[in-house]
Amino acid sequence: MAVQALSAAAAANNPLTKATAQPLAGGTTLIDLMKLDVMRPAAVIDINPLARGWSAIEPGSDALRLGALAKMSDVAAHAEIERNYPVIANSLKLAASAQLRNMATLGGNVMQRTRCSYFRDVSYENCNKRNPGSGCAAMDGVNRMHAVLGTSDRCIATYPGDFAQALIALDAMVEITGQAGTRSMPFAQLHKPPGDAPDIETTLQPGELISAFAVPGRWPRSVYLKARDRQSYEFALSSAAVALDVQDGTIRDARVALGGVATVPWRAREAEALLKGQKFDDGLAQRVADAAFADARGRRHNSFKIALGKRVMTRALQQAVTMEIRS
């Protein structure tokens, strides 16, 4: 775990500055992983008393602000978010179950840990994420669910969330609150690809909490498409968050992010560059999908995700182009 020493005076006031302390919001990841012995915090700090100030859902005229302790279910069902940010509403609706969406918060959602079966099973010693330097059991193990983009030779664990794909596609900012006050940075800078240190998953420092997300603009022409082994209540094998600005048949702006296939929330900027200024057709969709997966690397069981990911992305683009916009 990343540890940055804070001054003793600051640490005395904030138990979360202890690297061994974990904040508890909805608990749907933390309590699960504590039972599995994967996470072994010395202290758990219930941050739900902060919810009154941190759970607001605030759609503005040309931006959206979401408190980090807002529940997934409340955001998913919000009429203005359904209308102006369908990619956000659907990324939340298609995730988890009704019970879990009632518990889980937005901040916790983006911080959820990988579902890699070797990470979750402590009987496997080899997990660079859980046990740094120990190796990776997934490399030559059962890796059907693992990532094909953003991997390293240390880790191929998939980032499991859906909401993060919508945030990264829409250029969201994340607001972070700690002892020194509040800072804001692009959501794209929150997660770290595994590289040489898969155990360090985010740029959050001890004592810092996500307090809100801010999404600029409005994206009524946006889609979240998710392919999975079950029709409902399952993590993505492949997903695509697409937001378009189309005028007179020409794509003025395009945002594409991919889920289920990468180690971190994945922005497909090559795809966006190819889409901008173009008129949409099936040939373009194919070229765009090929570009997005050009650097993908499959392993024994997960190479199918490259073909599946392209198809999901192509279909999401088609849906976004043809969807009816309610004005």
Partner 1 sequence: MSDKSSSRPSGFDRRTFIAGAAGSALVPITARAAAQDASASGAKDAALPVDVTLRVNGKDMRLHIDARTTVLDALREHLRLTGSKKGCDHGQCGACTVLIDDRRVVSCLTLALAAEGQEITTIEGLATDDHLHPMQQAFIDNDAFQCGYCTPGQIVSAVACVKEGHAGSEADIREYMSGNICRCAAYPNIVAAVKQAAPEIMKG
| Residue ranges in contact with partner 1 by CB under 8 A | 12-16, 18, 20-21, 24, 27-28, 31-32, 34-36, 40-50, 52-54, 56, 58, 65, 67, 73, 96-100, 102-103, 175, 177, 179-182, 211-212, 230-233
- Closer residue to partner 1 in complex, CB, 78/255: 78
Q: Nearest approach, Cβ of 16 to partner 1 (angstroms)?
A: 7
Report d(CA 264, CA 112) in Å as an integer.
11
Q: Nearest approach, Cβ of 173 to partner 1 (angstroms)?
A: 13
- Closer residue to partner 1 in complex, CB, 41/132: 41
Q: Nearest approach, Cβ of 86 to partner 1 (angstroms)?
A: 17
- Closer residue to partner 1 in complex, CB, 1/133: 1
- Closer residue to partner 1 in complex, CB, 180/294: 180
- Closer residue to partner 1 in complex, CB, 36/325: 36
Query: Do 45 and 27 contact (CB within 8 A), yes or no?
Result: no
**Which residue in 105, 128, 130 sits closest to 29, CA to CA?**
105
How many secondary structure helices (H) and strands (E) does the chain include? Answer: 13, 11
Largest CA distance in the chain: 61
- Closer residue to partner 1 in complex, CB, 17/222: 17
| CA trace torsion 125, 139, 293, 85 (10° rounding) | -20
Sorted by sequence, the CB contacts under 8 Å of residue 251 that are 6+ apart come out as 244, 245, 275, 276, 277, 278, 279, 280
Q: In which residue are the tokens 């994945």 written?
A: 266
How many CA within 13 A on the CB side of residue 206?
21
Q: Nearest approach, Cβ of 22 to partner 1 (angstroms)?
A: 8
Q: Nearest approach, Cβ of 149 to partner 1 (angstroms)?
A: 27
Beta-strand relationship, 43-46 and 21-24: parallel
Report d(CA 19, CA 206) in Å as an integer.
6
Q: Nearest approach, Cβ of 138 to partner 1 (angstroms)?
A: 20
Q: Nearest approach, Cβ of 100 to partner 1 (angstroms)?
A: 6
Q: Quickly list DSSP for 244-281.
A: EEEETTEEEEEEEEEESSBSS-EE-HHHHHHHTTPBP-
- Closer residue to partner 1 in complex, CB, 19/323: 19
Q: Nearest approach, Cβ of 59 to partner 1 (angstroms)?
A: 13
- Closer residue to partner 1 in complex, CB, 61/327: 61
Q: In which residue are the tokens 């219930």 written?
A: 46
**Rounded (10°) angle between helices 304-322 and 282-292:** 140
